């Protein structure tokens, strides 16, 4: 394996592995939890599903609720340093 994979490639492999993992996570989350995905045959028979509450729970997950309480700053310490608000 050392002959084919050089040490310079390790950071690229790590980044690509992370991105691939995130894609697999998102696809799995959508297939399992998304109310618009219809795996069950009974749900597929219905033209319009009456699942407003389920859709609301899917869209308003815990991470989104947490972010609403946080200020919209990427780097708050640097922002405070340059604005002089400390």
Model's pTM, two decimal places?
A: 0.54
Report the C-alpha gap between 36 and 43 in whole angstroms: 10
pLDDT at 16: 96
Quick check: 72 pLDDT over 60?
Answer: yes
> Cα–Cα distance between 35 and 32 in angstroms, integer?
9
Report domain extents, the chain: 7-83
Going by pLDDT thresholds of 50, 70 and 90, the confidence category of residue 27 is very high
Residue 86 CA to residue 83 CA, distance in Å, equals: 8
């Amino acid at each position: 394996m050392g002959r084919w994979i050089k040490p310079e490639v390790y950071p690229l492999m790590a980044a690509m592995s992370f991105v691939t993992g995130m894609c697999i996570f998102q696809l799995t989350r959508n297939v399992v939890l998304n109310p618009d995905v219809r795996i069950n045959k009974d749900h597929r028979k219905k033209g319009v599903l009456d699942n407003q509450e389920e859709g609301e729970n899917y869209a308003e997950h815990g991470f989104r609720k947490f972010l609403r309480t946080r200020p919209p700053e990427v780097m708050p310490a640097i922002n405070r340093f340059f604005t002089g608000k400390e």
